[in-house]
């Protein structure tokens, strides 16, 4: 599932990484600077391009740290993750795995195994709606390019025969095996959350306890700003063509927290009066048709949060809320009914008292 990710800058403002206009991007930069005080010299800032999107990192420390070494470590980590997990690179580890059409065990490394383990659990909990092997369906519908292709029923059924997490086997801590030779894995719904965690780990290992890490809209914070104010995350109103703030989340200082959001309203096709979302249900092979337009998941683990934000969006509000409550997932659901946006919170989010949403 392709994530519909916000492009940020310390504030979660939704505009999808590949479809944002430059004027909108720079207005977001200004919006962020007004809310977070970019001019504060005590905050170190790193930003650039990686994994087919952008990243923005803010951190500060009361102790002396070597910012050049930290930046070098972060760039090195980005290069490693990109070469390992990125589906847009034909030479990445995951795309080499996809290209080999046999059922022999293949070495993919512990990083991909870790992601597949998380995805297997979310796949099972979501009753198959979330599935990393959905890549052929995205290609079928045209969501890998810029032109919608509406397939007929027989073509959908044929493509569905290539899909299934149960056909992907973990052999050991570094090896995967396809139980069907034409199986293909898409990590885009989970890789950026994982990357946020890995970059955050670099900061932690360097003794940094106050930071905000964002990659393609996926975000994790810890601590506070130098003036003792908390990090604040703005969530945009989930409607096409709008860049208006819907919610502000004031992050807790006491522990690291991740915020991951998926939405249907940035990447879609309209055809003959009907809208086709980029969120595909792996069980039906078709775009979802429900009225849930955005899901924000709050979790200490960014990898888990990333996978669940997509899974809950795929399920829709009713089934998604029920499963989020059972699995104790803190999630904010935004449903569109006509021109009205209605917010719902899972029970775990309602009970979460370590942050403020207003």
pLDDT digits (tens, 9 = 90+) for 275-328: 667 888 999 999 888 889 889 999 999 999 999 999 999 999 999 999 999 999
Is a pLDDT exceeding 90 seen at residue 195? Answer: yes
- The confidence score (pLDDT) of residue 240 equals 53
Q: How far apart are CA 130 and CA 281, in angstroms?
A: 7
Question: Do the domain assignments include residue 342?
Answer: no
- The confidence score (pLDDT) of residue 324 equals 98
Question: Do the domain assignments include residue 144?
Answer: yes
Average predicted confidence (pLDDT) for the chain: 83
- The confidence score (pLDDT) of residue 238 equals 58
Question: Do the domain assignments include residue 151?
Answer: yes
Q: In what order do the strands lie in the sheet with 245-250?
A: 232-236, 245-250, 356-357
The radius of gyration computed from the CA coordinates of the chain, to the nearest angstrom, equals 20
Question: Do the domain assignments include residue 124?
Answer: yes
Indicate the pLDDT class of residue 267, thresholds 50, 70 and 90: low
Residue 109 sits in a domain whose CATH number is 1.10.3980.10
- The confidence score (pLDDT) of residue 29 equals 34
Question: Do the domain assignments include residue 46?
Answer: no
DSSP one-letter string for 270-299: EETTEEEES-EETTTTEE--SSEEEEEEEE
> Which residue, among 319, 1, 354, has the nearest Cα to 143 in the 3D structure?
1
CA angle 161, 167, 169 (to 5 degrees): 165
CB-based contacts of 15: which residues, under 8 Å, 6+ apart?
A: 6, 7, 24, 25, 28, 236, 243, 266
CB-based contacts of 290: which residues, under 8 Å, 6+ apart?
A: 316, 317
Question: Do the domain assignments include residue 136?
Answer: yes
Residue pLDDT, tens place only, 68-91: 999 999 999 999 999 999 998 999
Q: How far apart are CA 77 and CA 73, in angstroms?
A: 6
Is a pLDDT exceeding 70 seen at residue 37? Answer: no
User: How many domains does the chain divide into?
Assistant: 1
- The confidence score (pLDDT) of residue 119 equals 98
Top-confidence residue, 148 or 185: 185
Distance of CA 4 to the CA centre of its chain: 8
Tokens at 264, concatenated: 């249907």
| Contact of 190 with 117, CB cutoff 8 Å | no
354: left (phi over 0), alpha (psi -120 to 50) or beta: alpha
Question: Do the domain assignments include residue 70?
Answer: no
- The confidence score (pLDDT) of residue 16 equals 31
Is a pLDDT exceeding 60 seen at residue 51? Answer: yes
> Which residue, among 213, 208, 207, 212, has the nearest Cα to 192 in the 3D structure?
213
Return the H-helix or E-strand segment holding 10.
none
- The confidence score (pLDDT) of residue 112 equals 98
| Contact of 51 with 216, CB cutoff 8 Å | yes
**How many other C-beta atoms can be found within 10 angstroms of the C-beta atom of residue 29?**
16
Question: Do the domain assignments include residue 247?
Answer: no
| Contact of 258 with 302, CB cutoff 8 Å | yes
- The confidence score (pLDDT) of residue 149 equals 80
Indicate the pLDDT class of residue 182, thresholds 50, 70 and 90: very high
Helices (H), 43-109: 67-85, 93-99
Is a pLDDT exceeding 50 seen at residue 28? Answer: no
Domain of residue 150 covers 83-178
- The confidence score (pLDDT) of residue 53 equals 85
Mean pLDDT confidence for 6-33: 33
């Amino acid at each position: 599932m392709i994530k519909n990710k916000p492009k940020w800058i310390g504030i979660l403002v939704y505009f999808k990484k590949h479809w944002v206009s430059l004027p909108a991007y720079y207005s977001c930069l200004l919006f962020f600077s007004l809310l977070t005080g970019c001019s504060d010299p005590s905050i170190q800032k790193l930003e650039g391009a990686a994994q087919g999107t952008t990243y923005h990192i803010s951190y500060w420390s009361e102790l002396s740290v070597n910012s050049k070494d930290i930046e070098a470590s972060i760039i090195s980590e980005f290069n490693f993750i990109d070469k390992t997990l990125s589906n847009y690179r034909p030479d990445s580890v995951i795309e080499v795995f996809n290209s080999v059409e046999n059922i022999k065990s293949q070495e993919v490394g512990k990083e991909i195994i870790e992601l597949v383990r998380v995805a297997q659990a979310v796949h099972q909990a979501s009753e198959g709606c979330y599935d990393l092997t959905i890549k052929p369906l995205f290609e079928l519908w045209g969501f890998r390019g810029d032109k919608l292709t509406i397939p007929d029923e027989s073509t959908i059924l044929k493509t569905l025969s290539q899909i299934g997490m149960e056909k992907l086997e973990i052999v050991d801590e570094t090896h995967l095996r396809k139980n069907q030779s034409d199986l293909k894995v898409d990590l885009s719904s989970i890789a950026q959350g994982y990357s946020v965690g890995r970059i955050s780990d670099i900061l932690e290992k360097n003794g940094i306890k106050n930071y905000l890490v964002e990659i393609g809209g996926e975000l994790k914070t810890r601590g506070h700003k130098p003036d003792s104010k908390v990090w604040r995350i703005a969530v945009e109103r989930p409607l096409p063509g709008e860049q208006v703030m819907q919610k502000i989340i004031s992050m807790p200082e006491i522990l690291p927290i991740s915020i991951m959001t998926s939405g249907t309203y940035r990447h879609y096709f309209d055809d003959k009066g009907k809208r086709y979302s980029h969120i595909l249900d792996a069980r039906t092979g078709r775009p979802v048709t429900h009225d849930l337009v955005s899901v924000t998941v709050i979790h200490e683990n960014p990898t888990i949060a990333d996978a669940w934000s997509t899974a809950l969006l795929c399920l829709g509000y009713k089934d998604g809320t029920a499963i989020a409550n059972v699995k104790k997932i803190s999630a904010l659901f935004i449903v569109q009914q006509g021109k009205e946006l209605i917010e719902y919170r899972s029970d775990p989010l309602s009970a979460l008292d370590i942050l403020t949403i207003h």
